[in-house]
Each structure stands twice: as C-alpha cells, then as structure tokens.
Structure 1
C-alpha cells in the first residue's frame, strides 16, 4: 500500500508532529507501506527534525510564499503536481487549518482521502486577540467551519466527545492516540517531591493558572518542586510570573527534551492545567509511567482518559483553588498517590501502540477494498 501524508511542518515538537512521525515509522517497519510526506510550509534548509523519520520516507518540500492568496494557490498547484508524481493509494491530511479541511475540493482525485483531527473545532476560533480584524476573521472562520470536512472518505477524530463538533459529517471514525513511549515495565516510585507538567508555553496550556495554583501548594509544602517541561514562548513570560508570585525557587523550567522518560520517572504527580485539550498525549504517557494525574476537567481530553478518584483527580475547569487542594491531597498521602499511580499504569494499557495502529490498518484496507469493489 502506498500512502502520502500532508502536513505543514514536521520539525517541531508538537503532539501532532510526534504522532505523524510515529505513524509513518510504524507503518513502514510493521506493514511495509510505501510512504511519502508532503510538507507545505517547511524548507529543506530548516533545522533537522526533532523526531527521527524512517529513511525510507519520501520527503517533498513544496514551495511556499508569504502572501496569503499566492500561498494558497501555490499549495494547491504544488500538491496536485506532487500527488500526480507520487500516485498514492491513500492521502492522509493532518493539519487543522481551514485550507486542510477544504482540501478535497481542490485536488485531482485518483486516490482515497483521510483527514485526521488532533485539535478541537473550537481551537480554530479561539483567540485572546480582541482586535476588529481578529473578530472579523473568527466570524469568517465560523462560517467556513459550518460545512468543513466534506469530501473526505474518512474523517478521523480522537474520541466520541469530538463527534458533537462535526454533526454535518457522516464519514467519522474514532481512533485515539496511542502510548508512544515504551516504559519497558518501569514505573515511577512516586517518592520524589516533584510535580510535573509538560507542554509548550501557550495560553491554552494554562501554565499561568498552574503557577497561581503552585503558590498555594508551596505554602503548605515548601519542599516540593513544580517542573514545567516544554518550549518557551516569548509572548508568555512564565518566568516573570513565577518571580512575581515569589515561587521562582520552587519551579523548574526545562526546555524541550528527548529524554522525557527520565522526567516522568523522576516525578510523583502529573498536573494538567489546560484551558482546552484535544486528546493529551502527555497524560497518556504520564499514566503509563504510573503517575496519578490531577487535571482540570476541560473539554474533550482529560475526561476521556482519567477516571476521577481512581487513577487521578478531575477538577472543575479553571478552579485554581481546587486544583491546589487536589495536588496537596496527593502530596500529603503517599498511599493514595501510589494506589492511583498503580491504577493509572493498568488502565492506560488499552492505548497500546499495536492496538491503535491496527485500527488504522483496518481503516486503510477497508478503503482500498471498497475502492476495488466499485
């Protein structure tokens, strides 16, 4: 089988880029698929990919422009030209932008098309910018999203909760993200005085709220540390906020790391303070290492994974006080912490990579069989 993946970039550290890399590498090694990757906004001269791609992948860097209308035209032209050369059986589109949602309308089709969505629909509209331009663009996007996603043979979402966003579609399939890291049966001892949070410094991750929460926690447990791992953003100054809250010495800021397993094993609790999530890979990973999770019960993500009071604690959205109280509860009671951690490592096993990848294989084979039957 021959697949062609379409993505904007692959050289970052986002959950989507990790998942694209995992899928491509797994399909090549385990199913012997031929795979090409078409990159719409990445130059060949850019920095090396953070996640290593199999050498058998055919990479195609499409020329892109700054001007919006020229960029859209060049994307369509470049995609049609490249897909004609590659001749895939199935094309998998992985981006969440409006262009990708409407892409089937602009390509010459001799193949099946699959769309996989790793974000909520709301993410296309959410903006902290209240300018006239931002308001207008959000209204335009909302109009475009009403009928978006049509034309795809399969529209893949991460969980049943996301179905409500796409009531206009009848091609929906549910395939969750798998556990990416192999723990090799090793779990955290949950004895080190460290709470962990992982993610880019972004408004949607809610690390600002987590720091206000941590200020309350350190009043009771000053010997505990909060570790935030992820790419920094110049628009969000978490370090200055930590200093203003007088907790800078209680917080460890660490950038991107390839040795994330060590970070999980050195921690005792995982904290998720997101304002919105699609299906957080980091929660799955943390639980696979036996970390109990304390999370805001934000839309879609955590509630699909965490069983409240069994393998973690779900807190009403944006309730900083209760988030702090829940962290303090697990900090104070090592037995409850370890009981929840054990349940976490057991309950998360149904997200095994082999099981999830087999669901993709079944989907692809079904599309090809239906195509041959026509």
Structure 2
C-alpha cells in the first residue's frame, strides 16, 4: 500500500481481521505515514457488507491453499489482485481474465496490479463482472456435478 497510496490519495485501504501482529502492523503503518489512508476495520461477521463496500480486493498472503476470502470477493463481483502464491490461487483467478495475479512475494508487481485496478474503472467493472461469473465454477451445484462425473468415471 505504501507504493500505491501516494499515487491514489483519494483511495482508502480497509483491513479486516485481527491477530497477534496487529500492533506491529499498526506501528509499521504509522511509520510509513499511511495512517490517513488505512482504516483498521477489525473482525467482521458480515463479509457480504464488507465486500459490498469494496471497489477492489487484495489477497496479499504469501502462502495460501485455496483462499475462500478471494473466492467470496470474486463471487461478490469485486475485482481482485493477488499474489500467485499457490495452485489454489491460480485455480480461482484466471490472470487478466477475471482478476490480476502478481508473482509470489513481488510487492512492486502487486502494487502495479492495484494501480491498474484503481486507475481504470472500466477494467474494474469488466474484471468484477467476469469474476462473479467465473466464481460460479466453485458453486455447490457445479462442484456437486463434478463429483458425480468423477464417481461415474470411477464406476466404469
């Protein structure tokens, strides 16, 4: 965010969640001069409302399995940028089609993806719409259908 905020002074980063690193992260935020552009939202049980107020979703984890938060954002039509840190992320986000991926751990590349999304409303709208439909690949009916296909194949 330190690479994005100076170029997008009208944007705000909302961070959801809590944890043992929260105090250190808040201190780092202050040290970087980002307090005016970062909002610490804490824990929420209303993911739908949090995503409903979002223009972009960022999955900045450096290690993930199959991140449900990313899938929830896409199902809500929120365009996403994420580190390409695991096969599960690659399975969910089709780079350039329904979201943007950056090489794992490359913060400059992730900032670039965020600048692209925050600076281009048409790109945000297009990726968000495709994300919503693409996330349906993981809907309960679709996953159930795929399991049934597998079982049918195994019975042959």
TM class by shorter chain equals: 0.7 to 0.9
Q: Which residue of 2 aligns with 1:264?
A: 51
Partner of 1:294: 81
Task: Report the alpha carbon displacement of residue 239 of structure 1 after superposing the two structures with TM.
Answer: 0.7
How far does residue 257 in structure 1 lie from its aligned partner after superposition?
Answer: 1.2
Residues 113-143 of structure 1: per-residue CA shift (max 9 Å, x gap)? xxxxxxxxxxxxxxxxxxxxxxxxxxxxxxx
Task: Report the 3-state secondary structure (helix = DSSP H, G, I; strand = E; otherwise coil) of the residue aligned with 2:64.
Answer: coil
Give the one of 141, 150, 153 matched to 1:354: 141
Aligned pair in 2 of structure 1 residues 220, 234: CA closer, same or farther (>3 Å)? closer
| Cα distance in 1 between the residues matched to 2:137 and 2:120 | 28
CA distance in 2, matches of 1:283, 1:338: 17
Q: CA deviation at 1:300?
A: 2.2
1:255 aligns with 2:54: no
Give 1:39-50 correspondences, 5 Å limit. none
Structure 2 distance, partners of 1:275, 1:236, is 20
- 1:3-22 per-residue CA deviation (whole Å, 9 max, x = no partner) reads xxxxxxxxxxxxxxxxxxxx
Q: How far apart, CA to CA, are the structure 2 residues paired with 1:329 and 1:298? A: 20
Q: How many residues align?
A: 150
When normalised by structure 2's length, the TM-score is 0.88
Q: How does 1:231-246 map to 2 (within 5 A)?
A: 231-234=18-21, 237-246=24-33
Distance 1:234 1:330, change over 3 A: closer
Question: Structure 1 residue runs of 4+, over 3 Å off?
Answer: 354-360
Cα deviation for residue 359 of structure 1 reads 6.4
Pairing partner for 1:338 from 122, 125, 145: 125
Separation (CA, whole Å) in 2 of partners of 1:238 and 1:298: 22
Superposition TM-score, scaled by structure 1 size: 0.38
Post-superposition offset of 1:322: 1.3
Q: What's the offset of the Cα at 1:355?
A: 3.6
Taking the TM superposition and a 5 Å limit, the aligned residue runs for 1:28-107 are: none
Does 1:329 pair with 2:116? yes
| Alpha-carbon distance between aligned partners in 1 of 2:100 and 2:22, rounded to the nearest angstrom | 30
Distance 1:216 1:234 in 2: 21
Task: Tell me how far apart the structure 1 counterparts of residues 4 and 145 of structure 2 sit (CA, whole Å).
Answer: 43
- The answer to whether residue 90 in structure 2 is matched with residue 303 in structure 1 is yes
Match of 1:277 among 28, 46, 64: 64
How far apart, in 2, do the equivalents of 1:278 and 1:230 lie?
Answer: 19
Secondary structure of the corresponding residue to residue 3 of structure 2 = helix
SS in 2 for 1:324: helix
Q: SS at 2:2's partner residue? A: helix
The runs of 5 or more residues in structure 1 that have no matched partner are 1-213, 367-374
What do residues 171-199 of structure 1 show as CA deviations (whole Å, max 9, x unaligned)? Answer: xxxxxxxxxxxxxxxxxxxxxxxxxxxxx
Counterpart-to-counterpart distance in 1, 2:78 and 2:144: 24
Whole-Å separation in 1 of the counterparts to 2:33 and 2:93: 32
Tell me, in whole angstroms, the C-alpha distance in 2 between the residues paired with 1:313 and 1:334.
14
Unaligned runs of 5+ in 2: none
SS of residue matched to 1:252: strand
